[in-house]
Amino acid sequence: MWIAPDLRPPGPLLTDISLSQPADLTDRSQGTRRAGAGDTRFRLLALSAAILVLLIFAGVIGALIHGSMPAFKAYGFGFLTEEAWRPSREIFGAVGPIYGTLVTSAIAMIIALPVGIGIAIFLTELCPRFLRRPIGIAIELLAGIPSIIYGIWGLFVFAPFFQAYVQEPVIMALDGVPVLGTLFGGVPYGIGIFTAGLILSIMILPFIAAVTRDVLETVPSVLKEAAYGVGATNWEVIRKVALPYSRAGVVGGAMLALGRALGETMAVTFVIGNAHRIDPSLFAPGTSISASIANEFTEATSELYVSSLVELGLLLFVITFIVLACAQLMLRSMEKGQGK
């Protein structure tokens, strides 16, 4: 008896395939739901972290405003225009600390900004390879030194040297010179506004150098090679290619350093002199907002005294916020100009 051969192709039957497809689709849909649930949880976690930052920010502002209300009710906006600071008579003015904060930060930035950018350019463009790592490690170590160490070194080592070998010769040389004789005159104390600015410049120098170096290293090599290919020198490549490409990062690093200078406490407290007055000489003692708070908060016994110190903290907060806002506006204007 002849039997016809089985001509069906090997493999699973059509019925088996049709039965297995719903299971696969079910697994895929379950995996998709699990992935969607994980994305949702991650989104909520990130949103919670952002809201927490805003709540902390609002809490700090609220606490400063609440603590400064007694002083604001007593002095009003006269607190911002009064120079006298006499706790025994409950007379408080913020002009001296504000002046010291702004001047010391300006001195620090004037000195540290060009030096820090120069160090970053040397490390990324001109430094031999065997020196890059030691110099980079030294810069990072400077950034890690506690501020109180800078203050002790500034008071016991730098201030006597600065008094004997810088202040006295400069005061004698500029005596009677218009403007300069006033800015760099007076008694050589060793400590003062200018000394605090110098110590701050040493402290913020590593931040400017490190951030600028990291930003300059992101410049595409093809851009620099193209500039060298058309005959540009090192200076032209740095000035016309590297710095314009990384200007936003350079400005950001400078603003980070400025924020550190505005809020520095211990190092400034050691060397600024802690005098609540405004002197036309940069060599004269002065004070800053953070130094005033650190020195006098434990001595504040009356409610008005404590409230005045809290209002100083609020002013420092406002000054820092204004500086950062100006930095953001500057970056945006630079980006628009670059787009044009």
Q: Predicted confidence band at 19 (pLDDT cuts at 50, 70, 90)?
A: very low
Q: In whole angstroms, give the CA distance from residue 225 to residue 131.
A: 23
User: Residue 22 to residues 15, 17, 26, 35: CA-CA distances in angstroms?
Assistant: 12, 9, 6, 20
Q: What is the model's pLDDT at position 290?
A: 92
pLDDT at 299: 85
Backbone angles phi, psi at 273, to 5 degrees: 100, -25
Percent of the chain at pLDDT > 70 equals 88
Phi, psi dihedrals of residue 174, rounded to the nearest 5° = -100, 10
Residue type, 193: I
| pTM for the model | 0.84
Phi-psi region of 90 (alpha: psi -120 to 50; beta: other; left: phi over 0): left
Question: CB of 191 within 8 A of CB of 155?
Answer: yes
pLDDT at 9 over 60: no
pLDDT surpassing 70 at residue 115: yes
Q: Is the pLDDT of residue 21 over 60?
A: no
The helix/strand/coil state of 139 is: helix
Nearest-angstrom CA–CA distance, 132 and 238: 18
| Residue 120 CB partners (closer than 8 Å, separation 6+) | 208, 209, 210, 212, 213, 215, 216
Q: What does the pLDDT look like over 87-105, one tens digit per residue?
A: 888 889 999 999 999 999 9
> What are the pLDDT digits (tens) for 230-266?
888 888 898 888 888 888 888 888 888 888 899 888 8
Which has the higher per-residue pLDDT, 122 or 21? Answer: 122
- For residue 222, give both structure tokens: 């093809």
Residue-wise pLDDT for 311-322, tens only, equals 999 999 999 888
Q: Which two tokens stand for residue 64?
A: 């400063």
Contact of 212 with 305, CB cutoff 8 Å: no
Domains assigned to the chain: 73-339 (1.10.3720.10)
Alpha carbons 195 and 140: distance in angstroms, whole number? 23
**pLDDT-derived band at 14, boundaries 50, 70, 90:** very low
pLDDT band (50, 70, 90) for residue 17? very low
- Cα angle 313, 319, 324 (rounded to 5 degrees) comes to 125
The three-state secondary structure class of 273 is strand
Residues of the chain above pLDDT 90, percent:
41
- Quick check: 257 and 229 in contact, CB under 8 A? no
**51/33: higher pLDDT:** 51
Phi-psi region of 254 (alpha: psi -120 to 50; beta: other; left: phi over 0): alpha
**Residue 128 backbone phi and psi in degrees, to 5:** -60, 150
Q: Is 6 helix (H, G, I), strand (E, B) or coil?
A: coil
**Alpha-carbon gap, residue 223 to 247, rounded angstroms:** 15
Q: What is the mean pLDDT of the chain?
A: 85
CA dihedral 27, 30, 32, 35 (to 10 degrees): -120
Please report the pLDDT score of residue 10 as a whole number.
54
Within 159-239, residue ranges assigned H as helices are 159-162, 168-173, 180-183, 193-216, 221-229, 234-237
Residue 322 identity: I
At residue 263, the 3 state secondary structure works out as helix
User: Is residue 167 a contact partner of residue 247, using CB atoms and an 8 Å limit?
Assistant: no
Residue 231 CA to residue 16 CA, distance in Å, equals 72
> Max CA-CA distance within the chain?
134
Amino acid present at 292: S
